[in-house]
Structure 1
């Protein structure tokens, strides 16, 4: 769809909404299926039409045959959630750093205002949530909007915006699981020219349909009244679509979904078997008069005529089941590059060096690097939007709002702090120093405030002359 076509539909909002909705292609996996796969309570193994109860034949007091049912085990495993959670954690568990090279005080001030906006909106936490939503639901978005400051609200205190800005920037997450339907609109070149958001608002006992459309120049708020749309247009003063859209084609567990379902089936079947055979069964030779129910301990088969009694045991099958379970778990983790960091697995690993840890999590880091190419593009668009918006909130920054700021991802890795400190001591030590003490202190994992720490060490006479000359 092209901008000219979109603008031509603005006068007929109903047709515009219908056209925008049709622009979105169907996903490879339906959102309804993704929702079921993410929710263990809706897994196929819990579906009584797919995993049927067993029937059993008994007799009533008069000796008449009675057909009953035995509830089978249905054990869902939330592996889809685990795969998504770990993938998002390796990418975003360490805060994203903003890298820039400010050339003057105005740009330094702009970076402080950007940091304030980043921290105030709790983007460290929301970024991880967005990563989980993208990797799980395959799409999500963040919506930015301005909010008027309250009287005496010292939001910008200590920044260049203090006393100059009467607005702050706020962000909310949009996702299918949060009640939003997302409709990005792209032109032939693949550039997003508009973004539609469909949602419902509860008014009394009714659900009122809303559809908002965001373009670089206008924001249209649409509310359905009967069969007609009532729209409230407002100018988009920032000049950029205030939506950051994150998208990947398939959920993280797509390639191993059948393996997960098989694992749930095997474990559920094994649970049923344990209910029947987990406790010893005593068999009495002769005509069987009674059979114990599933789950009943001390099971006994009773024979009417005399004879010998002995235990029934199951010798070989458990090893086959264990092999299949272990094989399925191995391939689920390896095919999704999801490390098995359970306590049972990790307790036998001992202490690893930094290089060994990197090799241990190499698959997860390579996956994170691949995801950075998708997710990081959205973070860069977020930064560019914030710089442009902050230039409108405080016109002092407008000429430099397009300064280059780059997101730096640090993939999560357990740290051996003693090893890091030893390396810093060797690098900054006397004689063969290849690093200043100042730099070493900044990289010390035990130091939270490097500048304050250097001041304290200077007072104690612990720093060399390189601090003064660094």
Structure 2
């Protein structure tokens, strides 16, 4: 464990931390996690979907009706079929929204702006922002809340191919925070909606495996790290207070009111109920049952077959067939799944769903077929586009502080635009036409 200089917080500060902590809606995010993790769905809960109680032996009564031996019951496990529909829909939407890198639409007007764009590009490459983008969009759609935290690290080699960087030695690193990762995030905004302070409650484990609660409080000047102690000195203590040097909060944050799959919860639950009940029904009726009328005189076996010999009036042996149609259940399940994808404007892209579309789609044809998904991208751009703009505004400021020689490059205008995922596949004829057009 790290060594810190510890000082206990005042009672006023402890009350402030409690008020901030109460703003985090634990119940909301616990429910979102239950929706996301199919193993936690209601159909998997034995208290909600109970096992069947089956009588295996009738009770024995005497002539007077007195029970001589009670009936025997056994527990019969029912089928529990959960579906990862939320994960499937969110993954498809994430691919369409951010599967292709955003178009920054930046046009440097001078050398400083050109160098600023180069450092931003290298910073993104160093931090593998393509994957960070996917994580933040996935978190937004499923968790409704996500944040990037940026800090400075020493890395002189980062500027080796940048003679204009001068004596710059530090570069930027980032980390993604979200509720499913164990982060309880509380943004504090002013009357204009601007972020003025940011809190992150989280936990770590010490060398003995004991969980310790911590808090990061971030404002435009400092990062303060707190820890909650137990025992005789119970309460919050300050571990350290550090100036981050950026002059603004190094957190880029976004949230939405409801998760993408919030509107399909009742339909998803019905799908799981139907599929589980359908599986139980198949188990009970799959193997044919023999209906016997009359007196059984004997059973003759020959290899793996057997013959039942009957006698008496109306003697008959026949299989009991399942006349009830399963089409109603299958039709409802199919309709509900279609509704889930339609309500979230998510295309179904499995090989089975696409096999009826003929040859591979490309260009305008692809855009028409997946127009709903592209409209959804534009809808989410209202939040994600603003988020990206805040990120690049922060990067320009932070880089201008780390590389003063290109500080004037902060004037670089960057307008990030989401690029909906498309498939560009050209046939030989298409390639020839494109070549002709380029030559012309």
TM-score (norm 1): 0.80
Q: Distance in 2 between matches of 1:126 and 1:165?
A: 25
Q: How does 1:116-127 map to 2 (within 5 A)?
A: 116-127=122-133
Indicate whether 1:346 and 2:354 are aligned: yes
- Corresponding residue number in structure 2 for 1:175: 178
Per-residue CA shift, 1:77-124, capped at 9, x if unaligned? 000101111111100001123221212222211111111000000000
Kept in 1, the 8 Å contact 2:140–2:146? The answer is: yes
Indicate whether 1:382 and 2:391 are aligned: yes
Q: Distance in 1 between matches of 2:138 and 2:199?
A: 22
Query: How large is the Cα RMSD of the aligned pairs?
Result: 2.8
- Corresponding residue number in structure 1 for 2:42: 44
Higher alpha-carbon deviation: 301-310 or 379-388: 301-310
Task: From 71, 92, 103, give the equivalent of 1:97.
Answer: 103
Residue 408 of structure 1: SS of its match in structure 2? coil
Kept in 1, the 8 Å contact 2:103–2:418? The answer is: yes
Q: Distance in 2 between matches of 1:17 and 1:367?
A: 38
Ranges in structure 2 where 5+ consecutive residues have no aligned partner: 1-8, 61-68, 297-304
Per-residue CA shift, 1:234-293, capped at 9, x if unaligned? 2232112111112011111111111011001111111111111122222223699xxxxx
Kept in 2, the 8 Å contact 1:113–1:160? The answer is: no
Following TM superposition, by how much is the alpha carbon of 1:139 offset from its aligned partner in structure 2, in angstroms? 0.5
- Corresponding residue number in structure 2 for 1:268: 276
Following TM superposition, by how much is the alpha carbon of 1:347 offset from its aligned partner in structure 2, in angstroms? 1.5
Indicate whether 1:227 and 2:230 are aligned: no
- Corresponding residue number in structure 1 for 2:217: 213
Q: Distance in 2 between matches of 1:271 and 1:303?
A: 35
- Corresponding residue number in structure 2 for 1:30: 28
Following TM superposition, by how much is the alpha carbon of 1:26 offset from its aligned partner in structure 2, in angstroms? 4.1
Kept in 1, the 8 Å contact 2:377–2:420? The answer is: yes
- Corresponding residue number in structure 2 for 1:15: 15
Indicate whether 1:259 and 2:267 are aligned: yes
Kept in 2, the 8 Å contact 1:223–1:231? The answer is: yes
Following TM superposition, by how much is the alpha carbon of 1:232 offset from its aligned partner in structure 2, in angstroms? 2.2
Per-residue CA shift, 1:113-150, capped at 9, x if unaligned? 1110000000001101110001001101111011122x
Q: How does 1:56-455 map to 2 (within 5 A)?
A: 56-59=54-57, 65-149=71-155, 154-160=157-163, 164-205=167-208, 206-225=210-229, 226-285=234-293, 307-351=315-359, 352-418=361-427, 421-429=431-439, 433=440
**Cα 1:138/1:55, change in 2 over 3 Å:** same
**Cα 1:43/1:286, change in 2 over 3 Å:** farther
Residue 130 of structure 2: SS of its match in structure 1? helix
Following TM superposition, by how much is the alpha carbon of 1:178 offset from its aligned partner in structure 2, in angstroms? 1.2
Residue 356 of structure 2: SS of its match in structure 1? coil
Following TM superposition, by how much is the alpha carbon of 1:408 offset from its aligned partner in structure 2, in angstroms? 2.6
Following TM superposition, by how much is the alpha carbon of 1:325 offset from its aligned partner in structure 2, in angstroms? 1.1
Q: Distance in 2 between matches of 1:420 and 1:13?
A: 68
TM-score (norm 2): 0.86
Ranges in structure 1 where 5+ consecutive residues have no aligned partner: 1-8, 289-297, 434-470
Kept in 2, the 8 Å contact 1:140–1:247? The answer is: yes
Residue 282 of structure 1: SS of its match in structure 2? strand
Kept in 2, the 8 Å contact 1:113–1:161? The answer is: no
Q: Distance in 2 between matches of 1:423 and 1:309?
A: 73
Q: Distance in 2 between matches of 1:176 and 1:363?
A: 29
Per-residue CA shift, 1:300-324, capped at 9, x if unaligned? x999988312222223421111111
**Cα 1:144/1:420, change in 2 over 3 Å:** farther
Kept in 2, the 8 Å contact 1:53–1:70? The answer is: yes
Count of aligned residue pairs for this structure pair:
407
Q: Distance in 2 between matches of 1:338 and 1:117?
A: 33
Kept in 2, the 8 Å contact 1:388–1:402? The answer is: no
Higher strand share: 2
Q: Distance in 2 between matches of 1:403 and 1:302?
A: 94
